[in-house]
Amino acid sequence: MTVLLAATAAALFGIGTYLVLQRKLSRIIIGIALLGHGANVLMVTSGDRGRAPLIGNGPTEGLADPLPQALALTAIVISFGVTALLLALAYRSWLLTSDDEVQDDVEDRDVALHGAPDDDLDGTEGDADRERDDDGDAA
Amino acid sequence: MNALLSLPILLPLLGAALSILAGRSRPLQRAIGLTTLTAVAVLAVILLVEVDRNGPASTAAGGWPAPLGIALVADRFSAIMLVVAALMLLAVLVYAIGQPGAERNHVGFGSVYLILAAGVAAAFLTGDLFTLFVAIEMMLTASYVLLTLGGRLDQVRSGMTYVVISLLASVLFVTLLAVVYASTGTVNLAHLSQRIPDLPDGLRSALAVLMLVVFGIKAAIFPLFFWLPDSYPTAPSPVTAIFAGLLTKVGVYAIIRTQTLLFPASARPATLLLVLAAATMLVGVLGAIAQGDVKRVLSFQIVSHIGYMIMGLGLFSVAGLAAAVLYTVHHIVSKTALFLTGGLIEHAGGSSRMSRLGGMVRTAPVIAVLFLVPALSLVGVPPFSGFVAKFALVDAAAARSAYAVMAVSLVVSLLTLYSLMKVWIAVFWSPAREPVAEARLSQPGEPLGGPLLMVAPTAVLAAMALAIGLAAGPIYGLCQRAAQDLLHPSAYVTEVLG
């Protein structure tokens, strides 16, 4: 049983890592969710197995360790909330760019290419400016 | 006394709830925020005085005794961090109230900011690895919202990177918790410190390195810092200031706490930490030199200065840890002040890009002074706080014969001076340029260069940087006692486990 759970965790970690390395935001989010599940499976595996604890007044021998289950439950709730926020962000990004790809840090690229930053970029508005320029050229 | 321990966490949460209820009235929301954070600051000072006099204090939240329940512990180190954090949160909130702009007027700003405060306080006060995870998540979730509150394209882009990196760190944290629980059967820090020494060497090193990676991502140490300079500059300045001051420092706090408390002296990764410290310092400052935007220069410098704190830890001596604590305090104050000044520059000049700014020493002399004081403090010029902190650090390194890392730290100080003087010359000394008219926010009738509520908190923080330098004796004494506690945690362990 433990080996099976460990293999499940390993598979979830493997697929999650592959998805997180993609450029599409939707895949990254699914990847993050899978990684989180892998970690939670690992968490549940870390305690002793046994009968359901904290129910009735029976003998305490052979009970499962309830603490990792409580911890995993908390972690699941947290990752649920954060995944919702992440989806909202990805939707916002799609609304603004009509694209699902991760955007580049234009200023970083600029510093790497030219050493000193150009004047045509205005700080934080740089990305928007440049995109507008590109559209103009294409038209 | 011990009942006080939960209040710095509960008060901001209560304030956040009230702030949502008062969503229709901005003045009421602001009053709630200011009252709550003032109360937290007062509580933190009381706690520090009490803990410094009587040793660590602890309480078991919910009535379950340690190691089963949630333990809240305050020792000198966490109390110091709590005091500084509360003061920064208060100063930045005043600044945010004074700043014109849409974002701080957002209905959610007040409550999310208080949740961030609660998360930071919980991270400093917890005596439990899992509660530390929850506290960091609370703080980070609030920070995701604050970072992207404007909903602009650049904010969403950098926010996405930031959230994904932080989530990966959280997944690793859960993995770490699973491994820790499977191998020791507890997540209470004091209990762990008794059980980890019995583990086999390999497992113990794996735990130490996993902890270093998890908290290293939060603290932005080399090579896990790439997300920071990309995401921080896009937030509104008060938000960047509080991120710069507190969020990475929670990571540093967690690294120092776990590496000193949990692992026996023989198993500490001292050399690894010193190498990472030197690389962090060097890479951060070289990145800062290349940038052309004031906020990006400052963001890269955060990375560089995290290296100094890790260096103090890596020495694993009382002097080294005392210097690390002092450096953390100094850096929180100076860096927050610098980012607030960065916001003032943007306010008065209409941009934070160096090529668009100039001549501000004449148009806004007050801002020039407010920039120069924390900048010189960051470099380490006497009599400011940075001088004392760096002197203590270099002295501790010399005592341990760690000459290589000491040399790197001195060279990096020089490079920090170079990068800040680049900003100084471009923004303040170069001939004045035509300000971008529509972007310029300050009114001609502002002799200070900005609204009083923006200038005053910045000035207070700059004065604090000077005060820490002038009152170095007593403050360093306190840091030394905190470092003693960290290296000899028996009082901490007995207080928690009884």
Task: Search chain A and give the residue with CA nearest B168.
Answer: A32
Helix (H, G, I), strand (E, B) or coil at B1: coil
In this predicted structure, the answer to whether residue B58 has a pLDDT above a threshold of 80 is yes
B350: left (phi over 0), alpha (psi -120 to 50) or beta: left
Say how many C-beta atoms besides its own lie within 10 A of residue B403's C-beta.
Answer: 10
Average pLDDT of chain B is 87
Would you call B230 an interface residue with chain A, using a CB distance cutoff of 8 Å? yes
Statement to judge: residues A85 and A109 lie in one domain: no
CA–CA min distance B293, chain A (Å): 7
pLDDT at residue B177 in the model: 92
Half-sphere exposure of B330 (CA within 13 A, CB side): 40
pLDDT at residue A129 in the model: 40
Interface of B with A in 261-320 (CB under 8 A): 290-293, 295-296
With a pLDDT cut of 70, the percent of chain A lying above it is 77
In this predicted structure, the answer to whether residue B225 has a pLDDT above a threshold of 80 is yes
Would you call B157 an interface residue with chain A, using a CB distance cutoff of 8 Å? yes
Interface size A-B, in CB pairs within 8 Å, comes to: 137
Statement to judge: residues A65 and A133 lie in one domain: no
Statement to judge: residues A71 and A10 lie in one domain: yes
Nearest to A92 among B156, B177, B230 (CB): B156
Binning pLDDT at 50, 70 and 90, where does residue B45 land?
very high
CB contact under 8 A, B144 and A85: yes
Matching residue, tokens 């699902």 = A100
The two counts, helices (H) then strands (E), for chain A are 5, 0
CATH code of the domain in which A58 resides: 1.10.287.3510
Statement to judge: residues A47 and A88 lie in one domain: yes
Would you call A64 an interface residue with chain B, using a CB distance cutoff of 8 Å? no
Say how many C-beta atoms besides its own lie within 10 A of residue A136's C-beta.
Answer: 8
| Dihedral sign from CA coordinates of B282, B283, B284, B290 | positive
Nearest to A46 among B172, B181, B295 (CB): B181
Statement to judge: residues A134 and A94 lie in one domain: no
Mean pLDDT across the stretch B62-71?
78
- Residue A114 to residue B72: CA distance in whole angstroms: 51
Nearest to B353 among A71, A102, A123 (CB): A123
Q: How confident is the model over B421-447, as pLDDT tens digits?
A: 888 888 888 877 665 544 455 555 566
In this predicted structure, the answer to whether residue A5 has a pLDDT above a threshold of 60 is yes
In this predicted structure, the answer to whether residue B322 has a pLDDT above a threshold of 90 is yes
- Residue B38 to residue B124: CA distance in whole angstroms: 18
Nearest to B163 among A67, A86, A125 (CB): A86
Mean pLDDT across the stretch B469-491?
89
In our burial notation (b when 16+ CB lie closer than 10 A, e otherwise), range B444-453 reads eebebbbbee
In this structure, of B60-64, B81-85, B224-228, B409-413, the range with the lowest mean pLDDT score is B60-64
In this structure, of A56-70, B30-44, B197-211, B403-417, the range with the lowest mean pLDDT score is A56-70
- Residue B361 to residue B3: CA distance in whole angstroms: 50
In this structure, of A71-85, B99-113, B228-242, B472-486, the range with the lowest mean pLDDT score is B99-113
Interface of A with B in 94-113 (CB under 8 A): 96-97, 102-103, 105, 107-108, 111
Would you call A6 an interface residue with chain B, using a CB distance cutoff of 8 Å? no
Counted domains in chain A: 2
- Residue B113 to residue B241: CA distance in whole angstroms: 13
pLDDT at residue B102 in the model: 59
- Residue B297 to residue B335: CA distance in whole angstroms: 12
Statement to judge: residues A90 and A108 lie in one domain: no
Statement to judge: residues A98 and A110 lie in one domain: no
CA–CA min distance B480, chain A (Å): 36
- Residue B327 to residue B336: CA distance in whole angstroms: 14
CB contact under 8 A, B356 and A122: yes
Statement to judge: residues A94 and A123 lie in one domain: no
Nearest to B293 among A20, A45, A107 (CB): A107
Q: Which domain holds residue A88?
A: 2-102
CB contact under 8 A, A67 and B353: no
CA–CA min distance B285, chain A (Å): 15
Nearest to A111 among B168, B170, B292 (CB): B292
Statement to judge: residues A122 and A86 lie in one domain: no
Binning pLDDT at 50, 70 and 90, where does residue B97 land?
confident
* pTM of this structure: 0.89
pLDDT at residue B13 in the model: 93
Task: Search chain B and give the residue with CA nearest A9.
Answer: B175
- Residue B358 to residue B430: CA distance in whole angstroms: 5
Nearest to B291 among A35, A39, A111 (CB): A111
CB contact under 8 A, A119 and B144: no
pLDDT at residue B442 in the model: 52
In this predicted structure, the answer to whether residue B390 has a pLDDT above a threshold of 80 is yes
pLDDT at residue B134 in the model: 93
Task: Search chain A and give the residue with CA nearest B294.
Answer: A123
Whether the bond into B56 is cis, omega within 30 of 0: no
pLDDT at residue A132 in the model: 38
Statement to judge: residues A67 and A81 lie in one domain: yes
CB < 8 Å to B230, chain A: 105, 108
Statement to judge: residues A117 and A80 lie in one domain: no
Nearest to A40 among B160, B174, B181 (CB): B174
CB contact under 8 A, B181 and A97: no
DSSP string, B251-295: HHHHHHHHHHHTS-GGG--HHHHHHHHHHHHHHHHHHHHH--BHH
Task: Search chain B and give the residue with CA nearest A40.
Answer: B174
Would you call B437 an interface residue with chain A, using a CB distance cutoff of 8 Å? no
Statement to judge: residues A112 and A62 lie in one domain: no
Average pLDDT of chain A is 77
Q: For residue B142, what are the CA distances in angstroms to A50, A132, B83, B85, B160?
A: 38, 32, 20, 16, 14
In this predicted structure, the answer to whether residue B38 has a pLDDT above a threshold of 90 is yes
Interface of B with A in 439-468 (CB under 8 A): none
pLDDT at residue A128 in the model: 41
In this predicted structure, the answer to whether residue B253 has a pLDDT above a threshold of 80 is yes
Q: How confident is the model over B163-195, as pLDDT tens digits?
A: 999 999 999 999 999 999 989 888 888 888 888
In this predicted structure, the answer to whether residue B200 has a pLDDT above a threshold of 60 is yes
Matching residue, tokens 């916001």 = B343
Mean pLDDT across the stretch B258-268?
84
Which of A91, A124, A130, A134 to mutate to test binding with chain B, by most B CBs within 10 Å of its CB?
A124
| Dihedral sign from CA coordinates of B289, B292, B295, B300 | negative
